[in-house]
Chain A
């Protein structure tokens, strides 16, 4: 068979398939966002940017945007900081004489921390919604067990002040272990001469972490930041399990939940597509900001 035929079959065919099921729907979403289509009629009118104007005046949607932005600010930062801290303990927690050494007998922690990554997100949400159940959950059971009676029937996911932090905790719980494993691999990939040199210069563990580890794993951090940011701007599946209807006073409602309801419950496909475009734009902006910050801070170090 000719080379051209080979390329057509191996690359051309899958690409056409991909274009039909992924690229074409993406493109259509932009078009639908300019219409008043309700989906079940064959016709629709172009209404310009009025869907977007409607979103600007939609308090519920704006609340959802704010919630997602909060998630995107907190979840990646805390997850990465925690994962990096734990990875550092595993990799440089050992003896300070001789070569820099990892913590002995630490593979147990590494194995266990990774568990949540093998659990589907919806199940993670279910587990924690049971853990935080006001009366039959383990969290309140333990708290009241040690005498903190104010937590009897305390509704963690039902109070405005705690619903969002608890939801964030659940997402973070699901991802720390994965990024910890990733950072351990990245730190082990750093040439040990760098640590030895820093040690000869009299650097302690903390300074070595700040001066050697962090700069050397910054590209891994950047990748992690973008993935977690995209996840936090979505967060749909976690919220579906923890507070399917948006939480107390919509305090955990996400854009994605609003989009899903607008499309598949209310049938306002044009408006839902506009929400999708807003989500996509915010996602791209988030990635751009991460790239920019990484580049700017890199310049300062030099």
Chain B
């Protein structure tokens, strides 16, 4: 929007000379200034806590209690080492990476295959399937959590990483299908038919022809799923109570539940930084594509 200056209109050309070189009238400049100020204030509200957390992560617990405004006295990695080992953030991070990566790969394969099948080969009853998938999106996970606990218990997957992966996949599945369905719907049938005429089977047509064409949607939903699963809190705290199998969000929640004196606050801040930095770094380096594909995908 507004990439180039519009051509000058006839009335502009006739206008007195004096206005010519002023592209921004004074009212405009005021609006622009106020806009910058308001946006800057919000940016500060966003950044300030993050900067403060970062600075606090280098302080000792004693320094943290002394003054929230003071800078750290020594820049030592003690808090980070402590958080990684004593507070087990390293292990929880590894568990999170295992669970989220596995679940993400599986749900992307299952979800895109299901969305493709549903979009390309309607059959009597596919409307019902679609509505069942929509239903899974509509109800809160909290409604399912108690029975889910016993489903996992009965199949012997309670408090295990595979059990957690299975539930992650199951609960990310409906949104994935729902999101990808319109993308596969919109793809021209002729191309798939042409590929099949050339001798490609169902699987090759799907994997090598149709999936690449639905890429914008697949990238967007993969990002949403990653953030959603990385964020997931209820499923692990209800279904994964074995401390060795804790994921990152549980490790962080532990700081919150161990109220007061038992908490090593220096390690808490270091753990927060360790948790935030990887995802934030990926975001900053890829923000243009990322925001583009998120909004492109969502507004479809």
User: Which of A's residues lie within 8 Å of B, judged by CB?
Assistant: 1, 3, 6-7, 9-11, 13-15, 17-26, 28-29, 32, 39, 82, 85-86, 89-91, 93-104, 106, 108-123, 125-131, 133, 135-138, 140-142, 145, 173, 176-177, 181-182, 184-186, 188-189, 192, 205, 220, 223, 230, 233-234, 236-237, 240-241, 244, 256, 259-260, 263-264, 269, 272-273, 276-277, 279-280, 283-284, 287
In the complex, what residues of A have CB within 8 A of residue B64's CB?
Answer: 136
User: Which of B's residues lie within 8 Å of A, judged by CB?
Assistant: 1-2, 5-6, 23-25, 27-28, 31-32, 35-36, 38-40, 42-43, 45-50, 52-53, 56, 64-65, 67-69, 110-111, 113-114, 116-118, 121, 123, 129, 132-133, 135-136, 138-140, 142-151, 166-167, 169-171, 173-174, 201-203, 206, 227, 230-231, 233-234, 238, 248-249, 252-253, 255-257, 259, 265, 268-269, 272, 275-276, 279-280, 283-284, 287, 291, 294-296, 298-299
Minimum distance in angstroms from A177 CB to a CB of chain B: 7
Q: Pick the contact of B1: A97, A102, A117, A130 (CB < 8 A).
A: A102
User: A93 with B31: in contact, given A98-B5, A122-B249 (CB under 8 Å)?
Assistant: yes
- 9 inter-chain pairs at a CB distance below 8 angstroms, sorted by A residue, are A7-B117, A15-B129, A20-B151, A95-B28, A102-B1, A114-B283, A122-B252, A141-B68, A280-B143
Query: Do residues A86 and B233 form an inter-chain contact, with CB atoms below 8 A?
Result: no
Q: Secondary structure at chain B's binding surface: helix, strand, loop or mixed?
A: helix
Query: Do residues B110 and A14 form an inter-chain contact, with CB atoms below 8 A?
Result: yes
In the complex, what residues of B have CB within 8 A of residue A173's CB?
Answer: 45-46
In the complex, what residues of A have CB within 8 A of residue B113's CB?
Answer: 9-11, 14
Smallest CB gap from A263: residue in B:
B146
In the complex, what residues of B have CB within 8 A of residue A3's CB?
Answer: 121, 202
In the docked arrangement, what's the CA distance between A205 and B25, Å? 14
In the docked arrangement, what's the CA distance between A95 and B4, Å? 12
In the docked arrangement, what's the CA distance between A244 and B150, Å? 25
Minimum distance in angstroms from A203 CB to a CB of chain B: 14
User: A24 with B42: in contact, given A11-B114, A96-B27 (CB under 8 Å)?
Assistant: no
Smallest CB gap from B292: residue in A:
A185
Query: Do residues A26 and B42 form an inter-chain contact, with CB atoms below 8 A?
Result: no
In the docked arrangement, what's the CA distance between A192 and B3, Å? 11
Minimum distance in angstroms from A11 CB to a CB of chain B: 4
The 4 closest A-B pairs by CB, nearest first: A185-B295, A21-B170, A141-B68, A93-B35
Smallest CB gap from A8: residue in B:
B117
In the docked arrangement, what's the CA distance between A186 and B255, Å? 39
| Contacts between the two chains (Cβ within 8 Å), count | 308
In the complex, what residues of B have CB within 8 A of residue A122's CB?
Answer: 231, 233, 249, 252-253, 256
Query: Do residues B123 and A7 form an inter-chain contact, with CB atoms below 8 A?
Result: yes
Q: Pick the contact of A86: B39, B68, B145 (CB < 8 A).
A: B39
Query: Do residues A181 and B114 form an inter-chain contact, with CB atoms below 8 A?
Result: no
User: A18 with B46: in contact, given A99-B2, A263-B146 (CB under 8 Å)?
Assistant: no
| Further 16 A-B residue pairs, CB within 8 A, beyond A103-B35, A181-B291 | A1-B202, A1-B203, A21-B170, A23-B132, A86-B38, A102-B2, A106-B36, A106-B39, A113-B42, A126-B252, A127-B272, A186-B299, A233-B140, A234-B142, A259-B145, A283-B139
Q: Pick the contact of B43: A109, A263, A284 (CB < 8 A).
A: A109
Query: Do residues B253 and A240 form an inter-chain contact, with CB atoms below 8 A?
Result: yes
Query: Do residues A141 and B69 form an inter-chain contact, with CB atoms below 8 A?
Result: yes
In the complex, what residues of A have CB within 8 A of residue B40's CB?
Answer: 109
Q: Pick the contact of B39: A109, A123, A141, A185 (CB < 8 A).
A: A109
User: A26 with B143: in contact, given A86-B38, A110-B291, A137-B68 (CB under 8 Å)?
Assistant: yes
In the docked arrangement, what's the CA distance between A11 and B144, Å? 23
Query: Do residues A26 and B1 form an inter-chain contact, with CB atoms below 8 A?
Result: no
Query: Do residues A96 and B46 form an inter-chain contact, with CB atoms below 8 A?
Result: no
Query: Do residues A123 and B174 form an inter-chain contact, with CB atoms below 8 A?
Result: no
Q: Pick the contact of B227: A117, A186, A192 (CB < 8 A).
A: A117
In the complex, what residues of A have CB within 8 A of residue B132's CB?
Answer: 15, 19, 23
In the complex, what residues of A have CB within 8 A of residue B53's CB?
Answer: 127, 130
In the complex, what residues of B have CB within 8 A of residue A82's CB?
Answer: 42
Q: Pick the contact of B117: A6, A181, A185 (CB < 8 A).
A: A6
Query: Do residues B6 and A98 form an inter-chain contact, with CB atoms below 8 A?
Result: yes
In the docked arrangement, what's the CA distance between A239 and B173, Å? 27
Smallest CB gap from B259: residue in A:
A244
Query: Do residues B136 and A241 form an inter-chain contact, with CB atoms below 8 A?
Result: no
Query: Do residues B252 and A131 form an inter-chain contact, with CB atoms below 8 A?
Result: no
Q: Pick the contact of A94: B27, B32, B231, B238 (CB < 8 A).
A: B32
In the docked arrangement, what's the CA distance between A227 and B256, Å? 26
User: A116 with B238: in contact, given A93-B35, A220-B299, A263-B145 (CB under 8 Å)?
Assistant: no
In the docked arrangement, what's the CA distance between A177 and B43, Å? 10
Smallest CB gap from A195: residue in B:
B1
Smallest CB gap from A90: residue in B:
B39
Smallest CB gap from B152: residue in A:
A21
In the docked arrangement, what's the CA distance between A108 and B40, Å? 9
In the complex, what residues of B have CB within 8 A of residue A28's CB?
Answer: 147
Minimum distance in angstroms from B230 CB to a CB of chain A: 6
Q: Pick the contact of A192: B1, B28, B174 (CB < 8 A).
A: B1
